[in-house]
Structure 1
Amino acid sequence: MRAGKLRHRIQLQQQVQVQDSETGAVALAWQDWPAPGRKLWASIEPLSARDFIAAQAAQSEVSARIVLRYRVGVLASMRALYRAKVYAIHGVLPDPDSGIEYLTLPVSEGVKDG
């Protein structure tokens, strides 16, 4: 993966439980991953019409793919933020050669509640 292709700065977030200090109620919130404000270099590529046809109905909601350098701990339960867009992650696919060079994340645009 050439560094020049990774031209977008994305923020990954994971869902965590937070407890209200006054009421003790537990709620879900999104927390930056791997650290607050730490953005990762990535490539966001919209899928072509041919990709949509190949995906058929089972994956028709997937509208793009995000490619980033390999990182341990990236999960499909996370979401990605880029500018004002929220991308729900549908899977984490390692590269087919070494498995540790880059990750491909099939994503759809829209709010992800978890």
Structure 2
Amino acid sequence: MPLYPGKLRHRVTIEKPDTVQDPTTGEMVPGWATVATVWAQKRASSAREFKQSQAGQSEISGEFVIRYRSDLDATIRIVHMGKIYNIEGVLEDNESGQEWLTLPYSEGVNDGG
């Protein structure tokens, strides 16, 4: 399944756990840092098979598809239109492995690092 750039119509922010400064106290606390803002395709899940093999994990709600990046792992989350999506895995494309990534997500708040 090739990735068609025209389908990447959702602007999303990728965040990773990090230590950030509390704006009130100035103290360094666990939080989230922006990795990148990218274009993504958001679609209903076709990754249920992936989750069924991961017993005890969260229920997959859908998936984001983005252009390939080498700096992502399952600790990231995506913020889209003010909503947080917890990424449950990073799946490379089946062809070259370096064209796009499929990011299955569960919905909910993941505020810890």
Amino acid at match of 1:111: V
Q: Shift in Å at residue 74 of structure 1?
A: 1.1
Q: Shift in Å at residue 47 of structure 1?
A: 2.2
Structure whose residues are more often helix by fraction: 1
Quick one: structure 1 residues 84 and 26, their matched pair in 2 at CA, closer, same or farther if it must change by over 3 Å?
Answer: closer
Identity of paired residues, percent?
44
Q: Taking structure 2 as the reference length, what is the TM-score of the superposition?
A: 0.80
Structure 1 unaligned regions, length at least 5: none
2:101 matched residue in structure 1: 103
What is the correspondence of 1:35-114 to structure 2 with a 5 Å cutoff?
A: 39-47=37-45, 52=48, 54=49, 55-56=51-52, 58=55, 59=57, 61-112=59-110, 113-114=112-113
SS at 2:103's partner residue?
Answer: strand
SS at 2:6's partner residue?
Answer: helix
Quick one: structure 1 residues 43 and 15, their matched pair in 2 at CA, closer, same or farther if it must change by over 3 Å?
Answer: same
Distance 1:84 1:18 in 2: 19
Distance 1:6 1:68 in 2: 7
Distance 2:20 2:83 in 1: 24
Q: Shift in Å at residue 102 of structure 1?
A: 0.1
Distance 1:11 1:31 in 2: 10
Structure 2 unaligned regions, length at least 5: none
CA deviation string 1:61-85 (max 9, x = no partner): 1111110000110121010010021
Q: Taking structure 1 as the reference length, what is the TM-score of the superposition?
A: 0.79
Q: Residues 19 and 31 of structure 2 are in contact (CA less than 8 Å); yes or no, is this contact kept in structure 1?
A: yes
